[in-house]
Structure formats: C-alpha cells, structure tokens
A and B are shown apart, each in its own frame.
Chain A
Amino acid sequence: MPDKIHTAPFRFAITWIFLAGLALAGAARAGVLAEDRADALYFHYDGGGVTISGPSVLVRKSIGEHVSVQGNYYIDMVSSASVDVETSASPYEDERKQGSFSVDFLHGNSTYSLGYVSSDESDYQAKTMFASVSHDMFGDLTTISFSYKNGKNDVFRNLKDPNTGVVANDPAFQEEMESKSYSVSLSQIITKNLVLAGQYEVITDEGWLNSPYRSVRFFIGSEDQGQQAEVYPNTRSSNATSIRAKYFLPYRAALDAMYRFYTDTWGIVGHTGELGYVHPLDTPWGGGNWIFETRVRYYTQSAADFYMDIFPRADFANFMARDKELATYSAVTAGVGATYEFKIQRFPWLSRAQLNLRYDYMMVNYDDFRDARFSLGSFGTLPEDPLAPGTEPLYELRANIIQFYISAFF
C-alpha cells in the first residue's frame, strides 16, 4: 500500500510563511491589479475517439482602484468513444458546465484573492474554493505568492435503462472525494530582459479517486482474459516543482522555457518541458498589429505502482488500475497561434481588441498500455481475428486542438 507523503511539515512551513507575508504587507509602493478584459473562446478537441467542444466566456472588471472581480463560464460538450469506452461500455455524450468567480483586493503592494469554482456534469459535481496572497518586494523585482485550494467533489454513476435507453444516476452509488492544494511561488526579475518564476505545489486527495466505469483486465490461463472493476487507494499526495523563464529578445520578441518535476504517492514520476516563442510583427498589416506564437511541449511519465495493462490473474493485488493516464508514456504537443490586434475608433472606451486563433497537435505514445480492441473488440463486437491478450500493439493517441477567441481590453 503506497505510503502517504508526510505533507504536514510542508503545509506548516507554507502556512507560517503565508502569515509572515501578510505581516510584510503595507510597505511603500503599490502593486497592480490585472487589466480589465472580456474574452469569448470556442474550443474543439478531437482525438482518441473523443470530441470535446464548447464555449468559454471570461470577464474581469475593476471596481475602484483596489478591487477587481472576475467571472468565467465554461461548457464542455463531450462525445466519447475512447479506447476504454470501446472495450468495456457503449459510446456516450455528456455536458460539463463550470462557473467560477473570484475577487482580488489590492492593498499596498499585496494582492489578496478569494474565489469559487463549481462544475456540474451528469455523474460528477465539483466545488472548489481558493484563496491566495501575493506580495511585491525589493523594489517590485520580487513577487511571492501563497495559495490554498479546497475541493469537495461528489461522484455518481450513470446507468442506461436497457428498455427505455434513458440514462440516469444509479441510486445505489454515491461517493465523495476531497482535494487540498498548498502552493508557494516566487517571481524574480533577473535583468532588464529576463524574469524567472518558480512554483512548488502540494496536492492531497482523499476519498473515491477512481472511475466507476473503468475496468482492469487479467489473464485467464495463458490465452484468455477477463475484466473486473479497478480498485484505487483512497489517498493520493503529490509534489510538483516548476521553474519558468521569459527572455526579451533585442528585436522585440520573447522566448520562454518551462520545466516541471512531479512525484506522488502512487509512484508516478513526471517530467514536463516546454519552449515557446512569441513574435510580434514590426509594422501593422491589414489595419492591425499581428502577434505570432509557437510552442512545443514534451511530457513523459512513469506508471503508477498499481498500474498494469493486464494482470497475471483476477484479484492480483489490493490496488489495480488500467487507466492510461497512469501508464508509462511520452507525449509531444506542438502549437502555433496568431493574434490580430486592432482598435475601433467608434468605441474609444475599448482600449484594444484581439482576434486569436490557435492550433495544437498532440501525439502520445504509450509504453505499457495496449490497444485492447484487437482482442476484446469494439462495443461488444469481437474482431475477425482477435489477437491473444498481451500481444496487442501499444496504443498511440493523436489529437487536434483548435481554439478561436476574441479578447477585448478596457
């Protein structure tokens, strides 16, 4: 059984540094609230048999000189026939709605934030509150921030009536999980062209942490296989440390780099690296200013301790998982984006507006998750020549991600 990471010392340190940060508040110069803006986004994800699309709207508005409020509403419209769904269930559609609200209060060179996020889908309801404080110091060269998040989620299970086809929550199934996050981050101006930022975040989860639909598979003899429900630990604690850098190039462009190291009590070790380049055009074109961006992200992880693609037998261990998110794999995501920025003379209250288009392509190659459709078939229909379990090709996922959004600044 995975041991719990002893997060108490980290939480103690972060809590007391948080209070020390509050005590430092009220020094000479003022910090700055985020810019007033409104954004409307349409996104579309298509990959691995899953399509997710929907709108997201965000509005941020300051009230006076010390308060800024932000609201966001977001809908995921999901249509899923993923490889897991194909081998153990039937295709489904669902909709997830999320609303969030936050308030920032600026006092001296400290900013205090409080927020609430609520999301609702047919079988999962999540409620998260978050609080943070950030403080500028050393002549505004350094910004230190602390944040705390607490989420309480209710997990349900959908059943489809075989006679009517109506999908409803199983009245015999309701579980809960709670998630807490403690984070400290530091942003430091190094030179007049370079800024660095580091973040450390501890997350602890407790409760029902797996999926009520997903199965694991196991050998029966040497050539057959069976399936049973996955079983997860009811706690998970993780540490993530990231460092980012942003560098201003002399011809007016920006280069950025990020690295994140992740470990948790489930045995997963993850490495994330990202490089980005932002290039604004020198001269206007087509009546507005153009900004181009390109980005490449590399991710790799090692599998959870209790993950296997196919277990040697039924009830092999206390904890068993076949979720590909917990497998060993590497992924590359590359993206390009274009922004067209313009002013509308008729609306002097509008400082500027932007049209943005972004495309990302994600490639995931799994090292220990096989495409079980070659042996189990798809939606209950066996393939003509099923492969022996454990000999299926390793699964690969390719996804297209498109975003189109309009931003207005006031």
Chain B
Amino acid sequence: MRTLRGLFVLAAFGLAASGCSSIEPWVKPYDRENLADPIMVFTRAPISQDFLDHVFESREGSRGATGGGGGGCGCN
C-alpha cells in the first residue's frame, strides 16, 4: 500500500512537471484588461463577505467551500 502511494506521488510529480510546458496560455496578457477590472474580483470587500459568511454559517447546517476564512463561534 505504501509502495503504491509512493508511486502515485512520483507519477503526479512527473505529470505535473511534463505537462506545464506543453500548454500555451490561450488568453494573452494584453487581452486581460477586462479580467483585471476591479469589478471582476470574486470578493470586492473581504470585511463585508466575512461578516455575511459568518451570518449564514451560524444559521445553516452547511459549512465550507465559500472561499473565506474564519474561526469558531458558540453561536447558538
């Protein structure tokens, strides 16, 4: 089992290293003006989004995969 895991890791390394150089970026740097616009960030104000994530997480059974951080809370 450990040997299989080691082989998996080496294979992942090899694939990652060899795959990087063969794919050319299809959106050139001079075409990224729209993507760099401030309105295109996923979270324009982390202070506001963190607060809303805290509100939802305190009231819902779901948690995680929101892109935010945060600590614990005894929010009953």
Interface residues of A (CB under 8 A from B): 12, 16-17, 20, 23-24, 27, 39, 41, 43, 45, 56, 58, 72, 74, 84, 96, 98, 100, 102, 115, 117-119, 121, 123-124, 126-128, 130, 137-141, 149, 151, 153, 155, 179, 181, 183, 185, 189, 191-193, 195, 197, 199-203, 211, 213-214, 238-242, 244, 246, 248, 252-254, 256, 260, 262, 264, 266, 268, 270, 272, 278, 280, 291, 293, 297, 299, 301, 304, 325-326, 331, 333, 339, 356, 358, 360, 362, 364, 401, 403, 405, 407
Given the known interface contacts A39-B47, A119-B71, the answer about A192 and B42 at a Cβ–Cβ threshold of 8 Å is no
Closest 10 CB pairs of A and B: A124-B74, A139-B25, A126-B72, A117-B71, A270-B62, A240-B64, A240-B65, A201-B64, A262-B62, A242-B65
Q: Shortest CB–CB separation between residue B47 and chain A, in angstroms?
A: 4
B17-54 toward A: CB 8 Å interface, digit per residue (1/0)?
10010011111010111110101101011111011100
B71 touches A325 (CB 8 A): no
Point out the residue from B17, B45, B65 that lies within 8 Å of A200, measured CB to CB. B65
A325 touches B59 (CB 8 A): yes
Point out the residue from A12, A43, A117 that lies within 8 Å of B51, measured CB to CB. A43
Give the total of B residues in contact with A, Cβ under 8 Å: 50
Given the known interface contacts A24-B16, A128-B70, A211-B76, the answer about A248 and B35 at a Cβ–Cβ threshold of 8 Å is yes
A278 touches B39 (CB 8 A): yes
Question: Can you give 28 A-B contacts (C-beta < 8 A)?
Answer: A16-B12, A39-B46, A45-B55, A56-B47, A72-B47, A72-B50, A98-B71, A102-B69, A115-B69, A121-B73, A124-B73, A139-B24, A139-B27, A192-B35, A197-B67, A199-B67, A201-B64, A201-B65, A211-B76, A213-B76, A238-B63, A248-B35, A248-B37, A260-B66, A270-B61, A291-B39, A325-B59, A405-B45
Question: In the complex, A325 Cα to B66 Cα: how many Å?
Answer: 18
Point out the residue from B12, B52, B61, B64 that lies within 8 Å of A301, measured CB to CB. B61
Q: Shortest CB–CB separation between residue A9 and chain B, in angstroms?
A: 10
Question: In the complex, A301 Cα to B62 Cα: how many Å?
Answer: 8
A181 touches B64 (CB 8 A): yes
- A126's nearest neighbour on chain B, judged by CB, is B72
Report A-chain residues with C-beta under 8 Å of the C-beta of B66: 199, 242, 260
Interface residues of B (CB under 8 A from A): 5, 8-9, 12-13, 16-17, 20, 23-27, 29, 31-35, 37, 39-40, 42, 44-48, 50-52, 55-56, 58-67, 69-74, 76
A403 touches B48 (CB 8 A): yes
Given the known interface contacts A126-B72, A128-B72, the answer about A356 and B48 at a Cβ–Cβ threshold of 8 Å is yes
- B15's nearest neighbour on chain A, judged by CB, is A20
Question: In the complex, A102 Cα to B67 Cα: how many Å?
Answer: 16
Report B-chain residues with C-beta under 8 Å of the C-beta of A339: 44
Point out the residue from B23, B26, B45, B61 that lies within 8 Å of A268, measured CB to CB. B61
A124 touches B45 (CB 8 A): no
Report B-chain residues with C-beta under 8 Å of the C-beta of A27: 20
B35 touches A41 (CB 8 A): no
Question: In the complex, A193 Cα to B27 Cα: how many Å?
Answer: 10
Report B-chain residues with C-beta under 8 Å of the C-beta of A280: 39
Point out the residue from A118, A211, A252 that lies within 8 Å of B37, measured CB to CB. A252
Report B-chain residues with C-beta under 8 Å of the C-beta of A266: 61
Question: In the complex, A44 Cα to B60 Cα: how many Å?
Answer: 19
Report A-chain residues with C-beta under 8 Å of the C-beta of B45: 39, 356, 405, 407
Given the known interface contacts A138-B23, A262-B64, the answer about A192 and B34 at a Cβ–Cβ threshold of 8 Å is yes
B55 touches A96 (CB 8 A): no
Question: In the complex, A407 Cα to B39 Cα: how many Å?
Answer: 15
Question: In the complex, A27 Cα to B19 Cα: how many Å?
Answer: 14
B39 touches A56 (CB 8 A): no
Report B-chain residues with C-beta under 8 Å of the C-beta of A405: 45, 47-48
